[in-house]
Amino acid sequence: MSIFSSLFGSSENQEEKTSKMDWTPLEDLGQLNEIISLSSEKPVVIFKHSTRCSVSRMVLKQFENEFDLEGKVTPYFLDLLEHRDVSNAIAEQFKVVHQSPQLLLIKNGMSVYDVSHSAIDATELGAKI
């Protein structure tokens, strides 16, 4: 750890500390079946994030700050650099083109809404639920 990081903390550590979201980490291909099953009871949101991209970090922070859908959706967070296989499977399973950052809303096992970059908006998501 650099002296700068030890004094001020890394941006990734800050993201974890300041997030008010109760994200479920999406790290395993098997979780896609779980998401499909859960989405028949309550909508599921998947946020695909590139930890090396400043645009993705900015969009994530804005989304988290605006998010007020707790209890209305189950949010999953995918670090697509660590789990590219899961990202590829999401594109195939839900028939969406891969983007980063990207937000998908899953209902009844299908992606009913997917947006990327500056189109990611928690208020707009709320209108789709």
pLDDT in tens, 63-108: 999 999 999 999 999 999 999 999 999 999 999 999 999 999 999 9
Strands 24-25 and 74-79 come out as parallel
SS3 119: helix
* Phi and psi angles of residue 28, each rounded to the nearest 5 degrees, phi first: -140, 140
Residue 123 CB partners (closer than 8 Å, separation 6+): 66
Assign 3-state DSSP to the chain and report helix, strand, coil percentages, each to 5: 45, 20, 35
Q: Is the per-residue pLDDT at 4 higher than 70?
A: no
Residue 82 CB partners (closer than 8 Å, separation 6+): 27, 51
The per-residue pLDDT for 7 is 35
- State the Cα–Cα distance between residues 79 and 22, nearest whole angstrom: 15
The per-residue pLDDT for 21 is 87
Q: How buried is 117 (Cβ within 10 angstroms: 0-12 exposed, 13-18 middle, 19+ buried)?
A: middle
Q: Is the per-residue pLDDT at 57 higher than 90?
A: yes
In the chain, the percentage of residues whose pLDDT exceeds 70 is: 84
Token pair, residue 97, equals: 């083109």
Among 18-32, 37-51, 113-127, the minimum mean pLDDT is found in 18-32
